[in-house]
Amino acid sequence: MPDLLLELFSEEIPARMQKRASEDLSRLVGEGLTEAGCTFDRVEAHATPRRLVLSIEGLPASQPDVREERKGPRTDAPEKAIEGFLRSAGVTLEQCEEQVDKKKGAYYVALIETKGRPTEAIIAELVPEVIRKFPWPKSMRWGTGTLRWVRPLHSILCLFGGQVVEFEVDGISSCDHTFGHRFMSNGEPIVVSGFEDYGMQLETSFVMLEPETRAAVIAEQAASLAAQGRLELIEDAALTQETAGLVEWPVVLMGGFDESFLALPSEVIITSIKSHQKCFSLRDPQTGKLANRFMLVSNLLAVDRGDKIVQGNERVIAARLSDAKFFWDRDLKMSLEDRLPALKNITFHARLGTQAERVERIVSLAGEMAERMGVDVAVAQKAARLCKTDLVSGMVGEFPELQGLMGSYYAKAEGLETDVADALATHYKPQGPSDEVPTNKVAQTVALADKLDTLACFWAIGETPTGSKDPFALRRAALGVIRIILEGDLKLPLLQILKPHLAGPLERRIEAEPGYVKQLIAKYLDDDADGAKAEENWDKGRREECLAREVVGVSANLLEFFADRMKVYLRDLGARHDLIDAVFSLGDQDDLLKIVRRVDALGIFLDSEDGQNLLAGYKRAANILAAEEKKGTKVETEVDEKLFDGSEEEAMFAALKTAENDGVVAVSEENFEGAMAALAQLRAPVDAFFDAVMVNAEDEKVRANRLALLGRIRAATLQVADFSKISG
Amino acid sequence: MPVPSTMASNTATPSVSLDPQRSFQGLILTLHNYWAAYGALILQPYDMEVGAGTFHPATTLRSVGPRPWKAAYVQPSRRPSDGRYGENPNRLQHYYQYQVLLKPSPSDLQDLYLGSLYEIGIDPDNHDIRFVEDDWESPTLGAWGLGWEVWCDGMEVSQFTYFQQVGGFDCNPVSGELTYGLERLAMYVQEVDNVYDLNFNGGEGADRVSYGEVFLQAEQEYSRFNFEHANTEALLRHFEDAEAECAALLKAGETGQGIHLMGLPAYDQCIKASHIFNLLDARGVISVTERQSYILRVRDLSKACAEAWLQTAGGGADETSTPEEEPGNG
């Protein structure tokens, strides 16, 4: 079984594209071969900065032969028809056989045998096509050619069974040789015979073919160098990956920088040498503090063992750090408060105004939240006012990923309250399901205000997430709100908070978008009976009414979004989704903490024997009621005690009244365990009722009264949850 | 007027070196010699304020159209917002770029480029030279290309770009553009940490002239100008003027016969508008929203200029269309 070896040798492929490209190459060639009937045993693909490599083992020498039978005309058909058939099938009469059909009689069947083409020929067609259509995220032309590749493609090594598969792509002919390391090899072509030979020869020409090997070598060398210096590497898997994509022969070296730079915030140093220089930072394991050392990954085993390379990198890093220091020193000269005017020059979103306007909204929302949460309103509003000021600092301009953090450093430096500094640092959190939630009360206030404002604003302009598209990370914002509220044990009625906050952005939209006004008119205003058109009603002062109704509609829609995110969140925590539905189904649930407490209490209750039995009783009652309601029977809400026949009915009615009363009190106190306990009292009377009483009585009135009793069971349970959503 | 004899006789020949590792000007001369030997035209800087060597018509305009081109030149470049009052060891608001444009890009362009590094004394056995992804885009020029920044021991010493589009037109053939940051490269090979300590002339002792002696004062003065004193109202007016002049020249140069008569002067105004925009940006008077609209305005100019250029001899107009002869005009 012959093997295929393919190498596409080019100028330097961007590190971030290599992995995906090797996977694409493997997939496209693999699929092409499989479709052609050439299946194989094993495939592996690799990438280095200068090459994509594919090895496929165990291919057949040719496609399988295909035998096809094609029905032709009757044997006694006119000669012309038979000739035409033979021509179209490409066979002679001798290659046909006669078959007999009861209806049709004797007719010809052409036996067409197609010999499988040599796999080599398939490859010679397939590979050029894959190259021409390769899905690079960005590709280019070069010289006078028309071929597109990620960077100029120089040679194509293609061997099948050790022989060159001949083809040409835009003037590049396939061949049997490759090249070694750009600087460490002698630069001569390396003729190879197969994959194993290829790998071995590359190794001796200073190319480590597998990215995993390069990453492992980097990690290993870095760890051992760090240990030699009695330091600890600050690990960074993404950086290891990236550097592995920048070198064919990794050699890790260690350098240092002036101790005085350690006065900069450590995040600034780490980010600066990582994002600009792709170098690793180190810390002192004794103190946990950042060390004035760094590690670089070079692509070369230098003759001087890397002295010049280290010196060079040290110089660049010193320059980078002094640039960072310039920003730091300059930023410190200006107070955060003084940066506020500059926010007027930054657009937050074309349809939502500037960052300054956004901050104003966040401040007002933070004030309201602070009051509800018992936080010092002045401090919360101060933190909110300053929370975006670092966006116009030099450092964040240079390193956007340091937003928030820099604000807190500057706040501390100018002696602002610790709470304010904390809020600036953490108000973007949590950034995802595993990120931590702010614990400081002021920070929680600002973080909630920031996220709720973002959600309200994008809902106001109708930019809501659809399917996989969520360009403004609104799902993340909603999840953030949910986590801050629940993990912080905060009681906040979201609807009450959101409604007034929606009016502003909606007003703005009405002012700016005539199309939106038309939508509102169509949605809320009709032509009057006296002939006034809907548009005129808008002008006649019904604008406010439309706005009010829109606020209600948009906030309800946003709350639904919260409900969805909440379900996802609770489900991830292991809550039963039917219980979540049972609680949400009650409607108008905007107190997230209350929802969770209800779900928890419901879960515990249903795990008890009382709960299970009551649920069974509820189901029985609900089924009977559903059947009746389907027939059009109206179930009364009032029960007439005079129509009772026997103690079971009396007992159940008495229990219902108690349970209803206790339930209402418990729910109003948000004592959901109490509400469940009240329901639990129903279990015995309900069981007894179903054992002894026949709902379907002869007497119409008695029957209706008994249905009304069942209705009360349903109503009683509805105080705590919609039991109809509960499964089991 | 005869040269006073004292000047000729009393001045001893100064001891200066043209070794690119010891002299900033020696570095430039080495690159000139290298690329001249390759067959490139050695051109002079464009006589206008530009943000990068790319703005020189020998790059922007020559990269558009079918005609082959090989040129190399030094271009003084101004980036007002990079000024640091002379206090940063390697940020300058005025610096030199060495620019090479080869059209079509030769297949051994990387090797040619590396050859130039070896020529200035960068020894590949002891230095880590890397091609790191850096896609180039100039929104104001309506241009983009793919390539790398070239790192030498972590220092970005050059930009290497295969132009794909310029002035909104597909480049066909594709030009290869090499841009060397001369100060950085010189700092590297001279092994100095502060740009102002560079040896400019390769002289020793009393004959030594540093980069700081030539440019430190200018950096301080221009930083003040760029960040604090440039008259923004006047600049806003100048921007409008350049924009209007560009449009007027483009219109005046039209012949209606596929030939344009004033693509080059029109392009000068586009360069001017672009530089004024950079100054306004450094003064911090352009908001983010406005910024985009200024960029688009300059881009409109550069696209129109590229379009005009294509209708000139340099842009290959005489190859693609022969002027039609009017009947009866013979």
Instruction: Give how far A33 is from chain B: nearest CA, Å.
Output: 32
Give the closest residue to B147 by CA, choosing from B67, B54, B68, B29. Answer: B54
Chain B interface, mutation test: which of A9, A10, A11, most B Cβ atoms within 10 Å?
Answer: A11
pLDDT tens, A338-391?
999 999 878 788 788 889 999 999 999 999 999 999 999 999 999 999 999 999
C-beta atoms of B124 and A152 within 8 A: no
Nearest to B287 among A247, A316, A345 (CB): A345
DSSP letter (8 states) at residue B55: G
- Render pLDDT for B62-114 as a digit per residue (tens, 0 to 9): 999 999 999 999 999 999 988 989 988 888 999 999 999 999 999 999 999 99
Question: Mean pLDDT for chain B?
Answer: 90
Q: Which of B84, B93, B117, B130 to mutate to test the interface with A (most CBs of A within 10 A)?
A: B130
Q: Is B251 touching A (CB cutoff 8 A)?
A: no
Which residues have C-beta within 8 Å of that of residue B330, sequence separation ≥ 6? none
* Contact indicator for A172, A130 with CB cutoff of 8 Å: no
Distance from the A148 Cα atom to the nearest Cα atom in chain B, whole angstroms: 11
To the nearest whole Å, the CA of B172 is away from the closest chain A CA by: 7
The confidence band for A175, taking pLDDT boundaries of 50, 70 and 90, is very high
**Residue B111 at interface with chain A, using a CB cutoff of 8 Å:** no
What interface predicted TM-score (ipTM) does this complex get? 0.90
Q: Tell me the average pLDDT of chain A.
A: 91
Confidence of residue A620 (pLDDT cuts 50, 70, 90): confident
Would you say A273 and A281 are in contact if contact means Cβ atoms under 8 Å apart? yes
Residues of A in contact with B84 (CB under 8 A): 326
Tell me the pairing of strands A172-175 and A177-178: unpaired
Structural domains of chain A sorted by starting position, each given as residue range(s) with its CATH number in brackets: 4-62+118-204 (no CATH), 66-114 (no CATH), 211-331 (no CATH), 338-574 (no CATH), 592-725 (1.10.730.10)
The conformation of residue B142, written as its DSSP 8-state character, comes to: T
CB atoms within 10 A of CB A288: 8
Of the residues B153, B162, B283, the best mutation for testing chain A's interface (the one with the most A CB atoms within 10 Å of its CB) is B153
Q: Which helix (H) or strand (E) holds B273?
A: helix B263-282
Strand-pairing partners, residue A349, are: A353
Q: pLDDT digit string (tens) for A94-104? A: 888 888 888 77
Q: Give A8-29 pLDDT, tens digit per residue.
A: 999 999 999 999 999 999 999 9
B316 near A CB under 8 A:
no
Quick check: B236 pLDDT over 70?
A: yes
Question: Cα–Cα distance between B183 and B91 in angstroms, integer?
Answer: 10
**Which residues of chain A does B175 touch, with a Cβ-Cβ cutoff of 8 Å?**
none
> Rounded distance, CA A550 to CA A508, Å?
13
What's the confidence (pLDDT) of residue A529?
Answer: 66
pLDDT for the residue B289: 59
User: What would the pLDDT profile of A189-241 be if each residue is shown by its tens digit?
Assistant: 999 999 999 999 999 999 999 999 999 999 999 999 999 999 999 999 999 99
Say whether residue B154 is in contact with chain A using an 8 A CB cutoff: yes
State how far the Cα of A589 lies from the Cα of A561, in Å rounded to an integer. Answer: 12
Q: How confident is the model at residue B324 (pLDDT cuts 50, 70, 90)?
A: very low
Instruction: Kindly list the residues from chain A whose CB atom is less than 8 angstroms away from the CB atom of residue B147.
Output: 151
Measured in angstroms, the CA of A358 and the nearest CA of chain B are apart by 15
pLDDT > 70? residue A593 = yes
Mutation for B interface: A16, A151, A307, A311, most B CBs within 10 A: A151
Share of chain A above pLDDT 90, in %: 57
Check residue B15 and give its pLDDT.
Answer: 82
Kindly tell me if the per-residue pLDDT of A464 is higher than 80. Answer: yes
What's the confidence (pLDDT) of residue A248?
Answer: 97
Q: Find out whether the peptide bond into B104 is cis, omega within 30 degrees of 0.
A: yes
Cα separation, A172 vs A152, whole angstroms: 11
d(CA A704, CA A709): 9
**Number of neighbours of residue A253 by Cβ within 10 angstroms:** 23
A212: nearest Cα among A232, A235, A236, A237: A237
**Residue whose structure tokens are 């495939």:** A43
At residue B327, the pLDDT reads 45
Q: Is B126 on the interface with A (CB under 8 A)?
A: yes
pLDDT tens column, B255-296: 989 999 999 999 999 999 999 998 888 887 776 657 888 999
Q: Are B95 and B183 in contact (CB under 8 A)?
A: yes
In whole angstroms, what is the distance from residue A693 CA to residue B245 CA?
98
Which of A49, A183, A298 lies closest to B124 in CB terms? A183
Q: What is the rounded CA–CA span in Å between residue B253 and residue B265?
A: 10
Show the tokens assigned to B236. 């806003």
**How far is B303 from chain A, CA to nearest CA, in Å?**
21
Measure the CA–CA gap between A217 and A301, rounded to whole angstroms: 13
- Alpha carbons B168 and B300: distance in angstroms, whole number: 9
Q: 3-state class of B208 per DSSP? A: coil
State the pLDDT at residue A531. 65
Strands A42-48 and A190-191 turn out to be: unpaired
pTM: 0.78
pLDDT in tens, A70-82: 888 888 888 898 8
User: Which residues of chain A does B104 touch, with a Cβ-Cβ cutoff of 8 Å?
Assistant: 142-144
What integer pLDDT is reported at residue B27 of this predicted model? 98
Contact B173 A144 (CB under 8 A): yes
Helix (H, G, I), strand (E, B) or coil at A254: strand
Distance separating alpha carbons of residues A606 and A608, to the nearest angstrom: 5
Contacts 24+ apart (CB under 8 A), A67-72: A67/A111, A67/A112, A67/A113, A67/A114, A68/A111, A68/A112, A68/A113, A68/A114, A69/A109, A69/A110, A69/A111, A69/A112, A70/A109, A70/A110, A70/A112, A71/A107, A71/A108, A71/A109, A72/A96, A72/A107, A72/A108, A72/A109, A72/A110
Write the pLDDT tens digit of every residue in A240-285: 999 999 999 999 999 999 999 999 999 999 999 998 899 999 999 9
**How does pLDDT run across A287-341, given as a tens digit for each residue?**
999 999 999 999 999 999 999 999 999 988 998 898 899 899 989 999 999 999 9
